[in-house]
Structure 1
Amino acid sequence: MTTRAALRDRYSFGNLEEVLDLPDLIAIQRESFKWLLDEGLAQTFRDISPIKDFTETLQLELEFDPDDEDLRPPPKFSVEECKEKDMTYSAPIFVRARFMNQNTGEIKEQTVFMGDFPMMTDKGTFIINGTERVVVSQLVRSPGVIFQPGERFRLRNLSKHQLVTGTIHPYRGEWIEMDVEQKPGKDVTAGARVARKRRISIFTLLRALGYDEENHPGFLQRFVDYFDFLEGQWEKDAEIAVTQEEALLEVYKRARPGEPPTVESARAYFRNAFFEPRRYDLSRVGRYKLNRKLGPELEFLERQFGLTLDRPDLDQPVISQCEMLAATTYLLNLAKESPGYRLDDQDHFANRRIRSVGELIQNQVRIGLSRMERVVRERMTTQDVEAITPLTLINIRPVVAAIKEFFGTSQLSQFMDQVNPLSGLTHRRRLSALGPGGLSRERAGFEVRDVHFSHYGRMCPIETPEGPNIGLIGGLASYARVNPFGFIESPYRVVTDGTVTKEIVYLTADEEELYVVAQANAPIDTEGKFLNDRVLVRRSPQAARLQDLRLQLEQEVFFGATTEISSVPPQEVQMMDVSPKQIISVATALIPFLEHDDANRALMGANMQRQAVPLLRAEAPYIGTGMEKRCATDAADMLLAEDDGTIIELDGDHIVIDYKKLGQQNIRLKKFERSNQDSCISQKVRVGRGDKVKKGDLLADGPSTDIGELALGKNLLVAFMPWEGYNFEDAIILSERLVKDDVLTSIHIKEHEIDARDTKLGPEEITRDIPNLSDEILANLDERGIIRVGAEVGPGDVLVGKVTPKGETELTPEERLLRAIFGEKAREVR
């Protein structure tokens, strides 16, 4: 027997076959949190361990094994209980702590409780103090090295001196900024800033790194011979800081002005700032970006200058001296206008990455653990060594406080938008450039907000707010996914010898630039061969060279990088889009005939669908886009079968189902629950007794869903006509039937709280006895003074009676008489 939920057929009038199913729409949340539990937390404890005292004789090691179920027990309460009792949905986390005394060789081991850790629900949300919250993914600058045009070209101003800049951004630690500039009538100079302090000569930096005459005889002279535009600066700097020690002192004077410079302190500062993993961390992403950018440059150094370089390991967290040198020569090759050297674009998605929920929480745990580390060190020195155990050393308060602070007050931990299923789904897929470590809306310029060609298939060009956050908040494109480094990938079909294959590859923004890509709607036959002699394709623009910018500045013509569109023979095509909707987000893809809409109005439509309140009777659209079912399923407000089974019993608020593998289950439906936005969450049964269901089949509809499809509005007959001025401009006239038949009626549930406190003048009281109010007004209050369940109320009606004592004043003779007759009842209250 089929279920009634499977009765609606949808006919597709699309010309293109779907070659790839939509991915899990909330995978960005689920996978990131899974990574945190499986790898991220253990990695954070490894980074901080071991904690040693100042004499390095005592040490504490912390180890978290994600596979050990004793260290990761399940949550104590269910999601429903947490919502009901205003609790946080969390699970306890334990670590194995090992205290070692190097002098005696004594080892003490204990399992230590590290606090309750908020857990993600199946829907990709968190329950914090009974309310549902979402941690929004953040778009941030990727760590690594970036080379950009200087102020002369960036500001298009010939009076500016700066030609080109290069910056090494670690994930955590001090920046190194390098630049090449030319003042009018003076020599070209290259310099560097360490930790955003005063500029030093590039030769001082190279000598501080160990590329001086003592360690590498003749290198600097060969360096200047190759970059001959630096000869003037070389002659002036010849006597300044000749040895490595002198150069280190120069760097130290700039970085720590006011402190007495010694060679030891200068060497220690330089080592700690860049070569100490606890202070400086490139992260896996930064290491990957650095290797990609500077790998060829290291080969150039070995070839051109005959250096023997120690290549960094693939997992080395700190930068190496040879990479700083490679970054310097890359910058100078750009300034020299050497062939093959190109500038970077900081707004390109190869240089912007996603920090998802797992990484954001991991950073917060790291902050908490570093605060805890200080406490542990202090306790190691103050406590009696014999009595020390891991439990006496560890204070978990800083860790718990850091996590609590993140979920409670962070800009990225947000009250979930729960107006309808679509608003919740898009909230979980949102990308924000704001937040700690990101941009601020006051300082963000036009360039960072603008649509970029690298957004294609990664971030929606349509869905973004209209206000001050325009362009800073976006939506993940329908088919996009986030790779382990945090870069967004988009899927493409591989084309070989003019034939489109079934093979799908996911490419990041910089990988995509290497290919010639055809549109998803390019006509092909059943075997995948292109039908036309020439195919419309796009090629990503080549990154700019310094000479291109110089010519533009001299000729006073300016144009940004745009994708090159051209027609090529089928044999030249290398990739093909998987679907026309891969460039847009889920909310935008719900708009039928989107291609006929003006982009500004499409933006408003995509945003305003999220504001549709769930109606009394949901109705699926006659004309859909094929996304309705998938949106409703992944928004997770409906009830779906977990396995194949049979319906045994049901009524309005529960379903008993006998699963083949999971056995019999009694599932309670959500009935008239309040959402974060006061709309109504109520599930309606969509199966009958005796129905056979398969895994994933619909059991009950949620708010704004109709037989498993998203249903945000009504299929109404609309007339475009003037009607005696009543529908002037944006006014609309509704028919009487729409109002009488509750076609557009919605339910809203509000929660009101009242406190009865003890005041200086006496306690407040909840009571039915309220002075100066008639019995009709109080008719619906029960004997406690609280409104009856089921009573109909209107605006201004009393819901709870409360009296508050007021300060006594001098009584008039009339009031004294009333008090004498009626006693306490005549006393003044509010």
Structure 2
Amino acid sequence: MLSPADSSTFSSSSAARKRYARIPEVLPVPNLIELQLESFHWFIEKGLRELFDEISPIKDFTGKVMELQFLDYEFGDPKYSEEECRTKDLTFSRPLYISVELLIKETGEIQRQRVYMGDYPWMTDLGTFVINGAERVVVSQLVRSPGVYYSEVEDPASGRMLFSAKVIPNRGAWLEFETNNKDQLWVKVDRKRKIAATTLLRAVGYETNDEIAALFSPIDIDPEHPYIANTLDKDVTHTPSEALIEVYKKLRPGDPPTGDNAKQLVEGLFFNFRRYDLGRVGRYKFGKKLQGAADHMGIELPVDQRTITREDIAAIVGHLIECNRGMHAKDDIDHLGNRRIRANGELIQNAFRIGLLRMERVVRERMTIQEIDKATPNALINIRPVVAAMKEFFGGSQLSQFMDQTNPLAELTSKRRLSALGPGGLSRERAGFDVRDVHHSHYGRICPIETPEGPNIGLIGSLATYGRINA
């Protein structure tokens, strides 16, 4: 059995290296497939644990009958060796077992079972997966980092630079703030129709005009451009409940709004971790970017919370006002500081999450049908959606590719490749010249030369020899 903490499988023994060059070696060459091995190791140790914690506990629709809790998990030994899988056209995989606890709320009875969750592809020591006898590589994806980004556009009438802000989460609804030429601040939630920024602030808990004005008084100090006062003039709401209903109307134009519906919608959109996640990186970038505005306004930003908070929204608006006052420059979206790498561990985690969420739906439906005295964890759990999601990812994803086996260097190159394409990334048709171009931040990190000619130029690159990935 292999428990998540046992990492010995991932260390490959390297033979002694002899050099015959005349120039002495300055730095030892690092492990060139460390990115692949470390990322898969992270998924087995921590990524899976995060997923089970996310969906656990699963309750029935009423929340009063049953509750299913996922505890420890471990991987069994592979049924076939790598060589056998290659010759017999099989998948090199290990079985996953998880301890599950079922609580029957009426009786207080707790059943504990070890449940088989299916066989999942396992990485070889060379950073590849053997799927149906063929070696495949999960290519790392280069995507825009979650966080908040500020851009500017020139107002044709006055020639002033007007700033806008985009909040990009790891998953969930986008927020887009913009400034118009009348010094009013507007926001679009999930690319729907725009509402006054103060309406959104009111909906998340800043109640009165005086409270909102006082919050921004240390920042909104330009008498010629009173952003908050002008926005409040355009704000049609006066109370939090009115603001919630206004947000609901813009997001669900056909549905009749009620106070409860509106509150549930806003809380589900931004404050529910299952639907909105900034990610560790997004939270770090928020703190780095917005701390100055937060300090000026006297508000405290959370350090570990992965959902957005009302303080975050206030600080985003505060920083936007400071940008309009000329205190900050716009962000360079092509800088590698604003991009990050999703390696195989995170990509597999996302595929596994899709399967687990489908499985959760099945479990909840079975909880309503199953007789209480016959309910067991094994009877409730259906592993098919999870196995199917993983099969779909390894067999059909744009980022799961056949390994180029022309020669050993081609193999190594395919494992170190970085792609801006794929789900959640760019498409060839939409990618402009700026995204494809070599940026000064690439040097020493991404090879400025090695990229394919043709439609993918600049969208597919390779990690530089000494380039490392930290988060």
Q: Normalised by the size of structure 1, how large is the TM-score?
A: 0.53
Question: Larger Cα Rg: Structure 1 or Structure 2?
Answer: 1
Please state how far the C-alpha of 1:233 moved relative to its aligned partner.
2.5
Residue in 1 that maps onto 2:331:
344
Please state how far the C-alpha of 1:96 moved relative to its aligned partner.
0.7
Per-residue displacement from partner, 1:25-51 (whole Å, max 9, x unpaired)?
Answer: 011101101111111111111111000
- 2:45 equivalent to 1:38: yes
Residue in 1 that maps onto 2:306:
317
- 2:39 equivalent to 1:29: no
- 2:15 equivalent to 1:11: no
Distance 1:201 1:403, change over 3 A: same
Please state how far the C-alpha of 1:252 moved relative to its aligned partner.
1.0
Aligned partners of 1:177 and 1:192 also within 8 Å: yes
Read off the aligned partner of 2:467 and give its amino acid letter.
A
Aligned partners of 1:161 and 1:181 also within 8 Å: no
Residue in 1 that maps onto 2:260:
264
Q: In 2, Cα distance between the equivalents of 1:235 and 1:362? A: 43
Per-residue displacement from partner, 1:312-336 (whole Å, max 9, x unpaired)?
Answer: 1x32111110111001110111011
Residue in 2 that maps onto 1:133:
136
The structure whose residues are more often helix, as a share, is 2
Read off the aligned partner of 1:219 and give its amino acid letter.
A
Aligned partners of 1:227 and 1:332 also within 8 Å: no
Aligned partners of 1:125 and 1:134 also within 8 Å: yes
Distance 1:221 1:289, change over 3 A: closer
Residue in 1 that maps onto 2:173:
174
RMSD: 2.2
Aligned partners of 1:213 and 1:220 also within 8 Å: no
Q: In 1, Cα distance between the equivalents of 2:216 and 2:420? A: 45
Q: In 2, Cα distance between the equivalents of 1:440 and 1:251? A: 31
Residue in 2 that maps onto 1:285:
281
Distance 1:202 1:83, change over 3 A: same
Distance 1:316 1:96, change over 3 A: same
Aligned partners of 1:87 and 1:129 also within 8 Å: yes
Distance 1:410 1:180, change over 3 A: same
- 2:89 equivalent to 1:92: no
Q: In 1, Cα distance between the equivalents of 2:19 and 2:378? A: 63
Residue in 2 that maps onto 1:107:
110
Q: In 2, Cα distance between the equivalents of 1:453 and 1:114? A: 47
SS in 1 for 2:217: helix
Per-residue displacement from partner, 1:543-581 (whole Å, max 9, x unpaired)?
Answer: xxxxxxxxxxxxxxxxxxxxxxxxxxxxxxxxxxxxxxx
1:81 to 65, 81, 84: 84
Matches for 1:595-610 after TM superposition, within 5 Å: none
Please state how far the C-alpha of 1:223 moved relative to its aligned partner.
6.9
Residue in 2 that maps onto 1:468:
455
Residue in 1 that maps onto 2:120:
117
Read off the aligned partner of 2:193 and give its amino acid letter.
R
Aligned partners of 1:41 and 1:64 also within 8 Å: no
- 2:368 equivalent to 1:381: yes
Residue in 1 that maps onto 2:230:
233
Distance 1:469 1:160, change over 3 A: farther
Q: In 1, Cα distance between the equivalents of 2:159 and 2:67? A: 55
Distance 1:368 1:217, change over 3 A: closer
Per-residue displacement from partner, 1:118-173 (whole Å, max 9, x unpaired)?
Answer: 001111111000011111000011111111123x38xxx77999822111111111
SS in 2 for 1:216: helix
Aligned partners of 1:162 and 1:180 also within 8 Å: no
Residue in 2 that maps onto 1:163:
162
Read off the aligned partner of 2:147 and give its amino acid letter.
G
Aligned partners of 2:92 and 2:131 also within 8 Å: yes
Residue in 2 that maps onto 1:498:
none
Q: Which has the higher contact order (CA 8 A, sep 6+)?
A: 2
- 2:188 equivalent to 1:193: yes
Structure 2 stretches lacking a partner, 5+ long: 1-14
Distance 1:354 1:367, change over 3 A: same
Distance 1:409 1:161, change over 3 A: farther
Distance 1:113 1:332, change over 3 A: same
Per-residue displacement from partner, 1:697-736 (whole Å, max 9, x unpaired)?
Answer: xxxxxxxxxxxxxxxxxxxxxxxxxxxxxxxxxxxxxxxx
Read off the aligned partner of 2:20 and give its amino acid letter.
R
Please state how far the C-alpha of 1:310 moved relative to its aligned partner.
4.8
Residue in 2 that maps onto 1:477:
464
Matches for 1:759-770 after TM superposition, within 5 Å: none
Per-residue displacement from partner, 1:226-283 (whole Å, max 9, x unpaired)?
Answer: 2541367346326x10111111111111011111111221111111110111111111
Read off the aligned partner of 1:456 and give its amino acid letter.
Y
Per-residue displacement from partner, 1:782-813 (whole Å, max 9, x unpaired)?
Answer: xxxxxxxxxxxxxxxxxxxxxxxxxxxxxxxx
Please state how far the C-alpha of 1:217 moved relative to its aligned partner.
7.4
Q: In 2, Cα distance between the equivalents of 1:48 and 1:257? A: 31
Please state how far the C-alpha of 1:212 moved relative to its aligned partner.
2.8
Structure 1 stretches lacking a partner, 5+ long: 66-70, 303-308, 486-830
Q: In 2, Cα distance between the equivalents of 1:334 and 1:224? A: 11
Aligned partners of 2:137 and 2:401 also within 8 Å: yes
Q: In 1, Cα distance between the equivalents of 2:137 and 2:16? A: 32
Structure 1 stretch 197-206 or stretch 419-428: which is displaced more?
197-206
Q: Normalised by the size of structure 2, how large is the TM-score?
A: 0.92
Distance 1:477 1:9, change over 3 A: closer
Q: In 2, Cα distance between the equivalents of 1:177 and 1:299? A: 23
Please state how far the C-alpha of 1:211 moved relative to its aligned partner.
2.0
Aligned partners of 2:183 and 2:231 also within 8 Å: no
Aligned partners of 1:211 and 1:220 also within 8 Å: no
SS in 1 for 2:113: strand
Structure 1 stretch 387-396 or stretch 276-285: which is displaced more?
276-285
After TM superposition, the runs of 4+ consecutive aligned structure 1 residues lying more than 3 A away are: 5-9, 157-162, 220-225
Q: In 2, Cα distance between the equivalents of 1:27 and 1:209? A: 44
Read off the aligned partner of 1:105 and give its amino acid letter.
G
- 2:433 equivalent to 1:446: yes
Q: In 2, Cα distance between the equivalents of 1:8 and 1:166? A: 54
SS in 2 for 1:271: helix
- 2:207 equivalent to 1:212: yes
Structure 1 stretch 270-279 or stretch 201-210: which is displaced more?
201-210
Residue in 1 that maps onto 2:291:
295
Read off the aligned partner of 2:62 and give its amino acid letter.
T
Q: In 2, Cα distance between the equivalents of 1:8 and 1:192? A: 61
Aligned sequence identity (%): 52
Read off the aligned partner of 1:118 and give its amino acid letter.
P
Q: In 1, Cα distance between the equivalents of 2:440 and 2:213? A: 46
Aligned partners of 1:72 and 1:91 also within 8 Å: yes
Q: In 2, Cα distance between the equivalents of 1:253 and 1:102? A: 39
1:56 to 48, 59, 63: 63
Q: In 2, Cα distance between the equivalents of 1:316 and 1:52? A: 24
Distance 1:445 1:33, change over 3 A: same
Distance 1:234 1:44, change over 3 A: closer
Q: In 2, Cα distance between the equivalents of 1:260 and 1:162? A: 39
